[in-house]
Chains A and B, each alone.
Chain A
Amino acid sequence: MAKGQMESGIVAGRLPAETIERNFGDLHPPLAPHEAAVAADRCYFCYDAPCVTACPTTIDIPLFIRQIQTGHPEGAARTILEQNILGGMCARVCPTETLCEEACVREAAEGRPVEIGRLQRYATDSAMAADVHPFSRAAPTGRTIAVVGAGPAGLSCAHRLAMLGHDVVIHESRGKPGGLNEFGIAAYKSTQNFAEAEVDWLLRIGGITIETGSALGEGITLDGLQDSYDAVFLSIGLAGVNALKAPGADKNGVRDAVDFVADLRQAGDLSALPVGRDVVVIGGGMTAVDAAVQARLLGAQNVTIAYRRDRDAMGASRYEQDLAASKGVRILTNVQPVAVHGNGTVREIELEYTTSEDGRLVATGETLRLKADQVFRAIGQTLSGAPGGLAQGGGKIAVTGPGRTSVKGVWAGGDCASGGDDLTVTAVAEGRDAAMDIHASLRAG
Chain B
Amino acid sequence: MADLTTNFLGIASPNPFWLASAPPTDKEYNVRRAFEAGWGGVVWKTLGEEGPPVVNVNGPRYGVIHGADRRLLGLNNIELITDRPLQTNLEEIARVKADYPDRALIVSIMVPCEESAWKAILPRVAETGADGIELNFGCPHGMSERGMGSAVGQVPEYIEMVTRWCKQYYDKPVIVKLTPNITDIRYPARAAHNGGADAVSLINTVSSITSVNLDTMSPEPSIDGKGSHGGYCGPAVKPIAMNMVAEIARDPETRGLPISGIGGVTTWRDAAEFMALGCGNVQVCTAAMTYGFRVVEEMKAGLSRWMDDKGYTRTSDFVGQAVPNVTDWQYLNLNYVAKAKIDQDACIKCGRCYAACEDTSHQAISMSPDRVFEVIDAECVACNLCVDVCPVEDCISMVPMRPGEVDPRTGKVVQADYANWTMHPNNPAARAAE
A: residues with CB less than 8 A from B are 34, 37-38, 41, 44-50, 105-106, 108-109
Contacts and interface: CB of A to CB of B under 8 A. Distances in A.
A46 B351 contact: yes
B387 to A, nearest CB: 15
B106 to A, nearest CB: 40
A46 B352 contact: yes
A128 to B, nearest CB: 24
B119 interface: no
A47 B69 contact: no
A44 B349 contact: no
A46 B68 contact: no
Interface string B341-365: 0000000111110110000000000
A109 B352 contact: no
A36 to B, nearest CB: 12
Given A50-B371, A109-B392, A38 B69 contact: yes
Contact of A44 (B68, B69, B350, B367): B350
Contacts, number: 36
A106 B367 CA distance: 19
A41 B355 contact: no
A105 B348 contact: yes
Contacts of B351: 46-49
B68 A106 contact: no
B391 A44 contact: yes
Nearest to B356: A47
Interchain residue pairs A-B with the least CB separation, the first 4: A47-B351, A41-B68, A47-B355, A109-B348
Given A50-B371, A109-B392, A45 B69 contact: no
Contacts of A41: 68-69
Nearest to B351: A47
B350 A47 contact: yes
5 contacts: A46-B349, A46-B350, A48-B367, A50-B349, A109-B348
Given A38-B69, A41-B69, A109-B392, A47 B348 contact: no
Contacts of A44: 350, 352, 391
A32 to B, nearest CB: 13
Interface residues of B, number: 14
Contacts of B348: 105-106, 108-109
Contact of B350 (A34, A37, A38, A105): A105
B68 A105 contact: no
Nearest to B353: A47
Contacts of A48: 351, 367, 371
Given A44-B391, A47-B354, A47-B355, A38 B349 contact: no
Contacts of A46: 349-352
A41 to B, nearest CB: 4
Contacts of A47: 350-352, 354-355, 367
Nearest to B346: A109
A60 to B, nearest CB: 14
A106 B352 CA distance: 13
A437 B351 CA distance: 33
Contacts of A50: 349, 371
A37 B355 CA distance: 24
A276 to B, nearest CB: 47
A34 B352 CA distance: 26
B69 A105 contact: no
A158 B348 CA distance: 40
Nearest to A103: B349
Interface in B330-350: 348-350
Contacts of A49: 351
A49 B70 CA distance: 26
Nearest to B359: A47
Contacts of A106: 348
A37 B354 CA distance: 26
Nearest to A44: B350
Given A48-B371, A50-B371, 20 more contacts: A34-B70, A37-B68, A37-B69, A44-B352, A44-B391, A46-B349, A46-B352, A47-B351, A47-B352, A47-B354, A47-B355, A47-B367, A48-B351, A48-B367, A49-B351, A106-B348, A108-B349, A109-B348, A109-B391, A109-B392
A45 B349 contact: no
Contacts of B69: 37-38, 41
A31 to B, nearest CB: 14
Contacts of B354: 47
A301 to B, nearest CB: 44
Nearest to A41: B68
A108 B355 CA distance: 20
A48 B349 CA distance: 10
A34 B68 CA distance: 10
Most chain B C-beta atoms within 10 Å of own C-beta, residue among A41, A47, A49, A108: A47
A38 B68 contact: yes
B63 to A, nearest CB: 17
A9 to B, nearest CB: 53
Nearest to A53: B371
A45 B392 contact: no
B169 to A, nearest CB: 54
A105 B355 CA distance: 15
Contacts of A45: 352
